[in-house]
Chain A
Amino acid sequence: MAALRRRVLEVLPDLDPAQVTDGSSLKELGANSVDRADVVTMTMDDLGISVPVREFHDVRDIGSLARLLRGHLG
Chain B
Amino acid sequence: MDVGIESLNVYAGLARIGVRELLAGRGLDPDRQANLLMTSRSVGLPFEDPVTNAVNAAAPILAGLDPTDRAAIELLVTSTESGVDLSKSVASYVHDHLGLGRACRVLEVKQACYAATGAVQLAAGYLASGVSPGAKALVIATDVALVDARAGFAEPATGHGAVALLVSDRPRVLTLDLGAFGCHSYETLDSARPSPRFDIADVDRSLFTYLDCLTSSFAGYRDRVDGADFVTTFDQLAMHTPFAGLVRAAHRKMLREAGTSVDLVAADFERRVAPSLRLPAMVGNLCSGSVYLALASMLTHADVSAGARVGLYAYGSGCSAEFFSGLVDAGSARAVQAMGIPAYLAGRYELTFAEYTQLLADTADVLVPAEHRTVELGGYRKILERGRAGRPLLAHTGAKDYHRRYEWV
Residues of A participating in the B interface, judged by any CB pair closer than 8 Å:
32-34, 36-38, 40-42, 45, 53-54, 56
CA separation between A54 and B319, bound complex, in Å?
A: 12
- Is the beta-carbon distance between A53 and B211 smaller than 8 angstroms? no
Given A34-B246, A37-B211, is A53 in contact with B253 using a C-beta cutoff of 8 Å? no
Q: A41-B253, A45-B257 given as contacts; is B208 within 8 A of A34 (CB)?
A: no
A42 to B257, CA, bound (A): 10
Q: Which residues of A contact B153 (CB under 8 A)?
A: 32-33
The answer on a CB contact under 8 Å between B207 and A37 is yes
- Select from chain A the residue with minimum beta-carbon distance to B34: A32
- Chain A residues positioned under 8 Å from B246 (CB to CB): 33-34, 37
Among B207, B253, B257, the residue within 8 A (CB) of A33 is B207
> Which residues in A have their C-beta under 8 angstroms from that of B212?
41, 53
Contacts of A32 in B (CB 8 A): 32, 35, 153
| Among A36, A45, A53, A56: residue with most chain B CB under 10 A | A53
Task: Please state if A53 and B208 are interface contacts (CB–CB under 8 Å).
Answer: yes
Q: Is the interface of B mostly helix, strand, loop or mixed?
A: helix
* Given A34-B35, A37-B207, A41-B208, residue A53 in contact with residue B256 (CB < 8 A): no
Q: Does B209 contact A (CB under 8 A)?
A: yes
A56 touches B205 (CB 8 A): yes
Least Cβ–Cβ distance between A22 and chain B, in angstroms = 19
CA distance A40 to B253 in the complex (A): 11
A26's nearest neighbour on chain B, judged by CB, is: B204
Q: Can you list 28 A-B pairs, Cβ within 8 angstroms, ordered by A?
A: A32-B153, A33-B153, A33-B203, A33-B204, A34-B207, A34-B246, A34-B248, A34-B249, A36-B204, A36-B207, A37-B204, A37-B207, A37-B208, A37-B211, A38-B249, A38-B252, A41-B208, A41-B211, A41-B212, A41-B253, A42-B253, A45-B257, A53-B188, A53-B190, A53-B205, A53-B209, A54-B188, A56-B204
Residue B196 at the A interface, CB < 8 A? no
A residues less than 8 Å from B205 (CB atoms)? 53, 56
B347 on the A face (CB < 8 A) = no
For B204, list chain A residues within 8 Å (CB): 33, 36-37, 56
Q: How far is the CA of A32 from the CA of B32 in the complex (A)?
A: 9
Residue of A nearest to B207 (CB): A37
> Is B331 engaged at the interface, CB distance under 8 Å to the other chain?
no
Q: Is B60 an interface residue (CB 8 A)?
A: no
Instruction: Evaluate contact between B245 and A34: CB separation under 8 angstroms.
Output: yes
Measured in the bound complex, the distance between the Cα atoms of B209 and A45 in whole Å is 15
> How far apart are the CA atoms of A45 and B252 in the complex, in Å?
13
In this complex, the member of A37, A40, A41, A56 whose beta carbon has the largest number of chain B beta carbons within 10 angstroms is A37
Residues of A contacting B203 with CB < 8 Å? Answer: 33
B180 smallest CB distance to A (angstroms): 25
On chain A, the residues within 8 Å of B209 by CB distance are 53
- Kindly report which residue of chain A lies nearest to residue B152, judged by CB atoms: A33
B178-205, CB < 8 A from A: 188, 190, 203-205
Determine whether the beta carbon of B188 is less than 8 Å from that of A42: no
Q: Which residue of chain A lies nearest to B203 when distances are taken between CB atoms in the complex?
A: A33
> A38 contacts which chain B residues (CB < 8 A)?
249, 252-253
Extra inter-chain contacts (9) besides given A34-B249, A56-B205, CB under 8 Å = A32-B32, A34-B248, A36-B204, A37-B207, A37-B246, A38-B252, A40-B208, A53-B190, A53-B212
Given A34-B249, A41-B253 in contact, is the A56-B208 Cβ separation under 8 Å? yes
Distance of B65 from chain A, by nearest CB (Å): 42
A36→B207 CA distance, assembly (Å): 9
Contacts of B256 on A, CB cut-off 8 Å? 42, 45
Closest to A38 in B: B249
Q: What 1/0 flags go to B256-270 for Cβ under 8 Å of A?
A: 110000000000000
**Most chain B CB atoms below 10 A, which of A34, A36, A42:** A34
Which residues of chain A come closer than 8 Å to B208, judged between CB atoms?
37, 40-41, 53, 56
